[in-house]
Amino acid sequence: MKKTRYYQIVQELILKLINSGELKPGDKLPSERTLCSELSLNRNTIRHALLKLQRDGKIFRLERKGWYVNPIRMVYNPANHINFAQLAASQNRKAKWTTEDNGIITIEENMDTFTDEGFAAGTEAYSMENTFFIDGQKVARTLNYLNAEKLEGIVPKTAARAMTQVAEEDYGLQLTQRNLLIRPMLLPREVTSHLGIPHGSAGIYVRRIKTDGKNTVLTVEHEYWRFDAIELRVDQN
C-alpha cells in the first residue's frame, strides 16, 4: 500500500479547493502560517507542497505578498508576430501594458541586441521596455529595440496601441518576422523585480527579429515570460 506523505495532504487539499471552484484563478491562498496552524504541519512541509504545486503550474508566488491560484494560461503561437491586445481579447482576457522610453542608443557589437540577423553595429535604435498584464496580473517583461530612422517617434504611440498596429497604421510598414529564438531560462533579477516574483523564477525567453519584408531590420524584441502564464502552441497547416 502506497504511503501518503504529509506534503501530499497539503497538495490534495489545495487542488480540491481549486477544482471545486472555492479558490478561483487569481485568488490568494491562505498564508503558510495559516496552513501550518490549520493542518498541524511544519513550515517545511507546507512550503514543499506549495513549491510542488508551483512547478506543476497550479499556483504562483508574488514576492512579499503570498501565494495565488494561477490564472488559465494564455495560448500563444510564437511563430506569429502578435498584437498582444488582440491575442488576449480573442481568448476573453483583458490585456494592458506599461511603456518606458529609454531614448535612442547606438547599437554596438557587444550588446545583446546585436546579432548577424539583427541590427548592424552603428544603427540608431529606440530602446523601449514594457511590462505586460493579463487580467491585472503581470506576466511578461520586454526589452525592444526599434529602428529610429524608419520608425521615427514611434515609442509614445505604443502606449495605447500595439507596436505592430502602430507600424502598420502610422508608418505603412508590415512587420515581418524573420528570426525567432525560444529558450527556457531562469529569469534575470531585473525581470523578476519588475514582475514581483522571486529571483531565480523559471521563465520563457523569446527573441524576435522583424523586418519590412525585405532586408531592413525594423525591430529586435526580447520577451521574458513567466513560465506559468502562457502555453506555446504552433499549428501545422
pLDDT in tens, 183-237: 999 999 999 999 999 998 999 999 999 999 888 999 999 999 999 898 888 876 6
- Measured between alpha carbons, how far is 14 from 11 in angstroms, rounded to an integer? 5
Going along the chain from its start, the domains and CATH numbers come out as 6-69 (1.10.10.10), 74-232 (3.40.1410.10)
> Taking all residues of the chain, what is their mean pLDDT, rounded to a whole number?
90
- Measured between alpha carbons, how far is 165 from 185 in angstroms, rounded to an integer? 29
Structure confidence at residue 4 (pLDDT): 66
- Measured between alpha carbons, how far is 223 from 237 in angstroms, rounded to an integer? 26
Structure confidence at residue 114 (pLDDT): 59
Q: What is the mean pLDDT of residues 90-109?
A: 92
Q: What percent of the chain has pLDDT over 70?
A: 95
Q: Place 127 in a pLDDT band, splitting at 50, 70 and 90.
A: very high
**pLDDT greater at residue 81 or residue 146:** 146
Phi, psi of 43, rounded to the nearest 5 degrees: -65, -35
Q: Place 64 in a pLDDT band, splitting at 50, 70 and 90.
A: confident
Structure confidence at residue 204 (pLDDT): 95
Q: What is the mean pLDDT of residues 144-160?
A: 95
Q: What is the mean pLDDT of residues 117-136?
A: 92
Q: Where are the alpha helices (DSSP H) in 119-188?
A: 163-171
Burial code (b: 16+ CB inside 10 Å, e: under 16) for 94-113 equals ebebebeeeeeeebeeebeb
166, three cell numbers: 502602430
Structure confidence at residue 121 (pLDDT): 87
